[in-house]
């Protein structure tokens, strides 16, 4: 039973699918503008105005990308030079690490496991004091993959106050911003827009993983250069996917609500079951992952423990060490799976631990 991949188990909303079909029937089959069709860039701008309070010019400050993955790659490879340094609070989405390396930059990790998996201003300041002007960027992903932890407005403001004193960028990976439970999402772009590169997309909010539509929103001087990197890498996104995404962001802003309700129900169930088994549960406030401390009676090597679960309980989870420092001794489970699969996985894990 696989609880590893972060992919919604929902179908794409019907009106969004119809928009893709219409674009095909309308023969929208040629290269689009390299930064994406204007209809979608305008929809992204309008959406971001609502959720970040920042106004982005659709012509000069937004790029439509092939998923948030390309957005992360394009943003990092655009701003980084060999010898630059990037701060990543860990545990963190593992994709960041190789891209930083590919750009010739150095990774600085900050272990947040002793701070509720939230980067403290004190630890950020200490890292900046140590590495100085070599720090080109910090990556903040919230709600977080793998922990599901969300930053509060006050926590972000404390970090923004420090970042604003330095010549550096924030890459705000907000791909899970529509999936929060009982808390409001705040974008750090609302605090330091001139230093923030927002990364987002439709994969998680509208279950459009296969459509591969993400985007970058940033100040014009960044987007001007990022657009060149983007063009060299992919030329332009697919037209049907872009028209579907424009429909989702124009007429489908309520689509994530039903999914979110289901995710929250699953979260309560899986959290309760894991707690009963002796796992220490990190309190997730968003995304669709649950990050748990392996019981002290079990092997604390997360790779070994995950391997044992796979081989003996037939349950696939992700070892915490895959997410960098701060992840060892933990495992990540995705509840973007059916209720039946989650229940079966919990039953198998409970039986394994009892044995």
Strand 289-293 vs strand 62-65: parallel, antiparallel, or unpaired? unpaired
Give tens-digit pLDDT for 29-65. 999 999 999 999 999 999 999 999 999 999 999 999 9
Map the chain to HEC letters: CECCCCCCCCCCCHHHHHHHHHHHHCCCCCCCCCCCCHHHHHHHHHHHHHHHCCCCCCCCCEEEECHHHHHHHHHHHHHCCCCCEEEEEECCCCCHHHHHHHCCCEEEEEECCCCCCCCCHHHHHHHHHHHHHHEEEEEEECCCCCCCCCCCHHHHHHHHHHHCCCCCEEEEECCCCCCECCCCCCCHHHCCHHHEEEEEECCCCCCCHHHCCEEEECCHHHHHHHHHHHHHHHCCCCHHHHHHHHHHHHHCCCCHHHHHHHHHHHHHHHHHHHHHHCCEECCCCECCEEEEECCCCCCCCHHHHHHHHHHHHCCECEEHHHHCCCCCCEEEEECCCCHHHHHHHHHHHHHHHHC
pLDDT at 274: 98
pLDDT at 355: 84
pLDDT at 24: 98
pLDDT at 325: 84
**Which domains are seen in the chain, by residue range?**
28-251 (3.40.640.10), 256-354 (3.90.1150.10)
pLDDT at 317: 98
Map tokens 């037939």 to a residue.
314
pLDDT at 62: 98
pLDDT at 35: 98
pLDDT at 132: 87
Q: pLDDT below 70 — which residues of the chain?
A: none
Give tens-digit pLDDT for 248-266. 999 999 999 999 999 999 9
The span from the CA of 80 to the CA of 263, in Å, is 36
pTM score: 0.97
> How many C-beta neighbours within 10 Å does residue 339 have?
13
- For residue 64, the cross-strand partners are 215
Give tens-digit pLDDT for 83-127. 999 999 999 999 999 999 999 999 999 999 999 999 999 999 999
């Amino acid at each position: 039973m696989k609880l590893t991949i972060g992919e919604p188990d929902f179908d794409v909303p019907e009106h969004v699918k119809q928009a893709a079909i219409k674009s095909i029937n309308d023969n929208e089959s040629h290269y689009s503008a390299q930064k994406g069709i204007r209809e979608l860039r305008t929809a992204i701008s309008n959406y971001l105005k609502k959720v970040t309070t920042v106004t982005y010019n659709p012509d000069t400050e937004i790029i439509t990308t092939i998923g948030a993955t390309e957005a992360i790659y394009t943003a990092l490879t655009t701003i980084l030079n060999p010898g630059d340094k990037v701060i990543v609070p860990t545990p963190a989405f593992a994709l960041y690490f190789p891209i930083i390396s590919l750009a010739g930059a150095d990774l600085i990790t900050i272990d947040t496991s002793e701070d509720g998996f939230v980067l403290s201003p004190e630890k950020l300041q200490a890292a900046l004091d140590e590495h100085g002007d070599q720090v080109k960027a910090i990556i903040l992903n919230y709600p977080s993959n793998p922990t599901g932890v969300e930053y509060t407005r006050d926590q972000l403001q404390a970090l923004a106050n420090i970042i604003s004193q330095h010549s550096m960028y924030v890459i705000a990976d907000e791909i899970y911003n529509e999936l929060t439970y009982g808390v409001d999402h705040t974008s750090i772009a609302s605090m330091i827009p001139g230093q923030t590169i927002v990364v987002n997309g439709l994969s998680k909010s509208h279950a459009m993983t296969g459509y591969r539509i993400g985007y970058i929103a940033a100040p014009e001087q960044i987007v001007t250069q990022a657009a060149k990197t983007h063009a060299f890498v992919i030329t332009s996104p697919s037209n049907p996917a872009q028209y579907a995404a424009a429909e989702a962001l124009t007429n489908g802003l309520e689509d994530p609500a039903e999914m979110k309700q289901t995710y929250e129900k699953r979260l309560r169930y899986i959290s309760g079951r894991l707690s009963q088994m002796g796992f220490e549960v990190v309190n997730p406030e968003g995304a669709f992952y649950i990050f748990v401390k392996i019981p002290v009676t079990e092997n604390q090597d997360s790779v070994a423990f995950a391997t044992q679960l796979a081989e003996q309980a037939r349950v696939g989870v992700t070892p915490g060490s895959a997410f960098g420092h701060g992840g060892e001794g933990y495992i990540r489970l995705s509840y973007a799976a059916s209720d039946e699969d989650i229940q079966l996985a919990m039953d198998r894990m409970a039986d394994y631990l009892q044995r």
